[in-house]
Amino acid sequence: MTFEIGAWGTVALLTAAGIVVSFISEFAMSVAPRPVFHLFFAPGVIVHELSHLAAALACGHRVTDFCLYRSGAHGTGGYVCHEWADTGWVSDIECLAIGMAPLLSGMVAGYWLTWSLCNGHFVTLPQFGVVYCKIYWTAWVSFLKLVASGSFTTALIAYLFSSITASWLPSWQDLRNSIRGLVLVFVALAVFIALGGLLPRVAGLERIAVNLLWVVLLGHVATLSVSTLVFVLSAVWRLAGFGKDILEQSS
């Protein structure tokens, strides 16, 4: 069964799905024991904070403090503190670039890793704007088949891809810092869409858009896969600890 929702409907669907996936990933991070957090989320957290740091320095902001990775009760990620002079809409765009930097770097890294994972050939998807009801299942099966049938290198690429995509979405603090810049971008995007009929097609842009769609889909299913694994390992970890406490109390 299929339904057609158009290009912007596709973007809205993927955005909504991304928000749900992000909540699941955040919950997995919150319940993961420290060793499990280190194993599955550390690479993605480091890339996330490095993206903020690089964007802040590129925008000329003064970085007062940063931590690429820190460990709390369950591992709490890192942070980048920066200061800047408010220069109106320019500052808004700079804060947007800094806040969204992990998403941009995650998409670039995800694009390259997906390219490597698929040996330079992205899986053929329906034309941009057409979404199949079972497309997430198809993407999940394709991802698992790639991992299961590949070499150690393939498994390593899939691991890095899963860790990066689990942390590529902006945090709530990132969104708060970027809100005014997002409003400006949405206004500019609305104007762009309104003039869409007057703008020439850029050669290859549609193909890149379809490939990015596949990267986002794989990113979602990779994050769900690693979150599911984290939930299972966390449950086993706690049951093992519970069993150990019972044995110690009975001895």
| Gap between the Cα atoms of 182 and 202, Å rounded | 24
Residue 104's pLDDT is what?
85
* Per-residue pLDDT tens over the stretch 157-168: 888 888 888 888
Mean pLDDT on 27-32: 85
Residue 64's pLDDT is what?
92
Mean pLDDT on 79-93: 84
Q: Is the pLDDT of residue 74 over 50?
A: no
Judged by average pLDDT, the poorest of 123-132, 165-174, 205-214, 242-251 is: 123-132
Q: How many CB atoms lie within 10 A of CB 227?
A: 23
DSSP string, 211-235: HHHHHHHHHHHHHHHHHHHHHHHHH
In a domain? residue 241: no
In a domain? residue 86: yes
**How many domains would you assign to the chain?**
1
The band of 126, judged by pLDDT with boundaries at 50, 70 and 90, is very low
In a domain? residue 97: yes
Q: Which of 74-78, 132-136, 194-198 has the highest average model confidence (pLDDT)? A: 74-78
Residue 16's pLDDT is what?
77
In a domain? residue 239: no
Say how many CA atoms lie within 13 Å of 163 toward its Cβ.
Answer: 20
Q: How far is CA 3 from CA 9, 10, 74, in A?
A: 11, 11, 41
Residue 25's pLDDT is what?
86
In a domain? residue 30: yes
Mean pLDDT on 177-189: 77
* CA-CA-CA-CA torsion sign (21, 169, 142, 207): positive
- 139 vs 48, residue with greater confidence: 48
Judged by average pLDDT, the poorest of 39-43, 85-89, 162-166 is: 85-89
- From 21, 186, 165, select the one nearest 105 (Cα to Cα): 165
**3-class SS string, 16-59:** HHHHHHHHHHHHHHHHCCHHHHHHHHHHHHHHHHHHHHHHHHHC
Mean pLDDT on 190-201: 59
In a domain? residue 246: no
Q: Which of 13-22, 70-79, 91-100 has the highest average model confidence (pLDDT)? A: 91-100
Mean pLDDT on 78-88: 84
In a domain? residue 243: no
Q: Is the pLDDT of residue 191 over 90?
A: no
In a domain? residue 245: no
| Gap between the Cα atoms of 151 and 214, Å rounded | 22
Residue 57's pLDDT is what?
92
**What is the amino acid identity at position 41?**
F
The band of 129, judged by pLDDT with boundaries at 50, 70 and 90, is very low
Domain residue limits at 168: 2-231
Residue 52's pLDDT is what?
92
| Gap between the Cα atoms of 240 and 212, Å rounded | 41
